[in-house]
Structure 1
């Protein structure tokens, strides 16, 4: 067995299938999208006309495109500054419960395995201006009904809340696993020294789980940049493009309007924007969160 493992061909045999799949479903589509982004192809005809950087110029001079970029930034900011603190708080609370911990973990994780279409429809009922739960509660305090998904002032925040509700549980399980992997002796020693629960959480637990929190933020940023499905189900980018993100902007042109070349140029821009944001985060923030040994 050891002699076989010394043969480089063995490693090639095991790696080659995964490498071929990587080339076929990741590298090849990327280069195909880049190539198509320089064309006016409609996605159907055999005629492909190369038009240079015209698609990119059109996108960068389109106010609707920059509105979609702004909405993607809203997703990122909401995830980093509202969703992540909630994730940490609930993870700490669940980690300290004595009974039914498994039930709580299952309850918070359940939305993550639900279909986005189901979640969109469910929250559509919650946001309904006539019989929705939110307006029913507000009505108890004499507040008039709010058109959550059809009012430009409320539509985006409604989408952000729904998206956060779907994925918060997934990240809570990740952070919770990191918390539970911390040796109990550290917490017990701090408690003996007189540290309060809040002090133990802020001075011991949080510093030790910073690497996984960094991963959660990175995944949140990546998820924010490719958000589309929940928007398509709930608002289709409306009202008046107020909930459009780059992915829905791309879908509208690449599929609905048969501007496949232009849609591919948006896909390339999404890739570049995501790359820039994640690299900046890695360089400026994530590198400071070094691996921690207990």
Structure 2
């Protein structure tokens, strides 16, 4: 086997399928989307009748208020994930890591929403948010709070989606952080406990610094997920009410597929890629580069 792998031909044959799949499903779609973003193609007409219109699609998108509402909603996704969801993930990971009994049950229960279909989760939380018979309003009624239209009121619709999205993916990230915590040698915490360190001190001064790299990865994944969020919005509100929960991905789908403005939809896809690149680059420069790999 070793002799075969040293043969360049055999090596190329092993690598070629992966390279072909990468080119077909990653590189080609990127350049195809970039090309069509400069056209007025409707997605149906013959390719030889495509009309090149330059940067008109981009100027049109950047000049529309509804597009900037979508950008703002994506920013809400990012801020909610980074400043609310990530701290909750770390806290729950620390708690589960120190559970003595039924740890497997807790890990399974908290990971379960991550493997459920987004459509199922959207429908489930739709019942929870239902104004008349929903569980949330029933609970609030015990405290004298009146009926709230969670998904049809501009004030609460976006927050409702953010909570649902966080509920779905928090367990997935907890498993990642929990794996990092459990990989820390127990001797470190035991030595700190012998020296008189409290559980809080051990968590903040030993565990958290050691899992900083994985927390950085979780933040990066949260940002990427926030920028491509679409399915949960489509299932729960479809961008409503009055476009108040529209995100860039649903805005793109609305024009590229529903309105047959394929060229314009591709320009939105390119803008999503550029915005994601900018946000992740800023995070890498300001935060992620400071988190060096930790050896223990």
Which residue of structure 2 aligns with residue 189 of structure 1? 191
- The CA distance in 2 between the partners of 1:98 and 1:34, in whole Å, is 53
* CA deviations over 1:95-127 (Å, ceiling 9, x no partner): 000000000000000000000000000000000
Which residue of structure 1 aligns with residue 25 of structure 2? 25
Which residue of structure 2 aligns with residue 49 of structure 1? 51
Which residue of structure 1 aligns with residue 265 of structure 2? 263
1:140 partnered with 2:123? no
Question: What RMSD, in angstroms, separates the aligned Cα atoms of the two structures?
Answer: 0.7
TM-score, normalised via structure 2 length: 0.98
Which residue of structure 1 aligns with residue 204 of structure 2? 202
Which residue of structure 2 aligns with residue 10 of structure 1? 10
3-state SS of the aligned residue for 2:131?
Answer: coil
Which residue of structure 2 aligns with residue 180 of structure 1? 182
Which residue of structure 1 aligns with residue 282 of structure 2? 280
Listed as ranges, the matches of 1:1-294 within 5 Å are 1-46=1-46, 47-294=49-296
- The CA distance in 2 between the partners of 1:68 and 1:104, in whole Å, is 36
TM-score, normalised via structure 1 length: 0.99
- The CA distance in 1 between the partners of 2:26 and 2:130, in whole Å, is 40
Q: 1:9, CA displacement in angstroms?
A: 2.4
User: Unpaired runs of 5+ in structure 2?
Assistant: none
The alignment of Structure 1 onto Structure 2 pairs a total of residues equal to: 294
* CA deviations over 1:171-193 (Å, ceiling 9, x no partner): 00000000000000000000000
Q: 1:6, CA displacement in angstroms?
A: 2.3
User: Unpaired runs of 5+ in structure 1?
Assistant: none
Greater CA drift, 281-290 or 144-153: 281-290
- The CA distance in 2 between the partners of 1:3 and 1:51, in whole Å, is 55
